Amino acid sequence: MRPKIAAGNWKMNGTQSALDELDALAGMLPGGSTQVVICPPAPLLIPAVARAGGIAIGAQDCHAAEKGAHTGDISAAMVADSGATHVILGHSERRVDHGESDADVSAKVDAAWAAGLTAILCLGESEADRVAGRTLDVIGAQLAGSLPDAARTENTVVAYEPIWAIGTGKVPTLEQIIEVHDFLRAALIDRFGAEMGDAIPLLYGGSVKADNAATIFEAENVDGALVGGASLKASDFAPIVAALAVS
Ligand code: PGA
């Protein structure tokens, strides 16, 4: 049985007052074994950990190097030292806005693991890739290039996030989601063997909302969601967590 994971990516949203939403969310969770991870902006990591209750806290990025002259960056060890347990890596907004390559992302994932963090590795095709019929090629290449060989079940989560679905309200059909998630599952099994390949959780991300979550969670190889906009308010995110818990 793979864990069910509902992860919220606050992106560059929220000052300290946003932590009230964390308190509210903690009070709305369904209980059971569904894992909830909130990834606030870096300045909120430490106060978020202090107020998180049963919610895990994650960062949205880390540098590949242990330390040094990298103004504005944070290391994986700093993220772990804050009490956070997860880090999102390879999000398309990092790949596009900051020119991160698969090799860059792979190095960051290794750094995250070395610091004891769980990496939430994001993969996703552009609209042009999808229209050109290149989706599985792109996803396969990103998985091969940005997930290091040292992956372990306990510290690896893969999130499929079609770029054209992020923040747009456009959601792939269930068939499209199933196609990619089944492809990812097969690729993981092919690379890491049946036991481990079957145990790594696969999240879907891109315009997940309370009203489409239950349908998305019907897919066998969707083990949860990575949610942006609808994770900012507890009243929007809690129903998504609830839908996952009963899926
Ligand atoms: P969205 O973002 O839910 O706002 O589409 C998802 C993500 O980028 O992780």
Rounded to the nearest 10 degrees, what angle do helices 135-146 and 102-114 cross at?
Answer: 40
Provide the number of structural domains found in the chain: 1
75 forms beta bridges with: 63
Residue 26 CB contacts under 8 Å (≥ 6 apart), including other chains = 51, 52, 53, 54, 55
Q: Letter for the amino acid at 167? A: G
Measured distance CA(56)–CA(234) in Å, rounded: 15
Contact 161, 205 (CB under 8 A): yes
206 Cβ closer than 6 Å to some ligand 1 atom: yes
Sort 246 into a burial class: Cβ within 10 Å, 0-12 / 13-18 / 19+: exposed
208 lines ligand 1 (CB under 6 A): yes
Kindly list the distances between the CA atom of residue 3 and the CA atoms of 32, 58, 65, 108, 156, in Å, as whole numbers in the listed order.
Answer: 11, 17, 30, 24, 12
d(CA 116, CA 110): 10
Ligand 1 touching residue 76 (CB < 6 A): no
Phi and psi at 61, nearest 5°, equal -175, 160
**What's the confidence (pLDDT) of residue 3?**
96
The whole-number pLDDT of residue 53 equals: 87
Q: Using CA atoms, how far apart are residues 238 and 236, in angstroms rounded to an integer?
A: 6
With a cut of 70, list the residues of the chain below it in pLDDT. none
For residue 78, the tally of other CB atoms under 10 A from its CB is 18
Q: What pLDDT score was predicted for residue 152?
A: 96
Residue 138: which residues within 8 A CB-CB, separation 6 or more?
125, 126, 129
pLDDT of residue 143: 98
Residue 58, strand partner residues: 86
Residues designated as active site? 91, 161
pLDDT at 32: 84
What pLDDT, on the 0 to 100 scale, is given for residue 30?
83
Q: For residue 240, what is the domain's CATH number?
A: 3.20.20.70
Question: What residue has token string 């700093």?
Answer: 78
- Structural domain harbouring 107: 5-245
Q: How far is the CA of 68 from the centre of ligand 1 (A)?
A: 31
Nearest CA to ligand 1 atom 7: 228
Compute how many other C-beta atoms are within 10 angstroms of the C-beta atom of residue 186.
Answer: 13
